[in-house]
Amino acid sequence: MKQKFKVSYLKTTFIHGLVVTVLLLGLMLMIALSACKPYTVVTFAEATAIAKGGELDPKAFVETYWDKVVSTISDEGVDLTTILAAIEIDAANMATKVNLQQVADEYGLTTVGEAHAFMTKGQGKIMSMNTEKRQGTMEVKIENYDGPIKVNLWIGPKLPSDETSLRDSVGFITFGIFKEQTEYGKVNRELNKRVTSEILGDLYEQNLVGKTISFEGTFLIRTFNMPGDAIEVTEIVVTPVQLEIGE
What separation in angstroms does the CA of 234 have from each of 104, 109, 130, 148, 190? 17, 20, 17, 7, 29
Mean pLDDT is lowest, of 68-82, 118-132, 172-186, for 172-186
Distances (CA, A) of 203 to 111, 128, 154, 213: 30, 13, 10, 12
How would you classify the pairing of strands 150-157 and 235-245? parallel
Most confident of 28-32, 48-52, 151-155: 151-155
State the angle between helix axes of 58-76 and 181-194 in degrees (0 to 180), rounded to the nearest 10.
60
Q: Looking at 43-52, 179-188, 191-200, which range is the least confident one?
A: 43-52
- Which pLDDT score is estimated for 7? 42
Of 188, 218, 207, 217, the residue nearest 245 (C-alpha): 207
Q: What is the pLDDT of residues 123-167, one digit of tens each?
A: 999 999 999 999 999 999 999 999 999 999 999 999 999 999 999
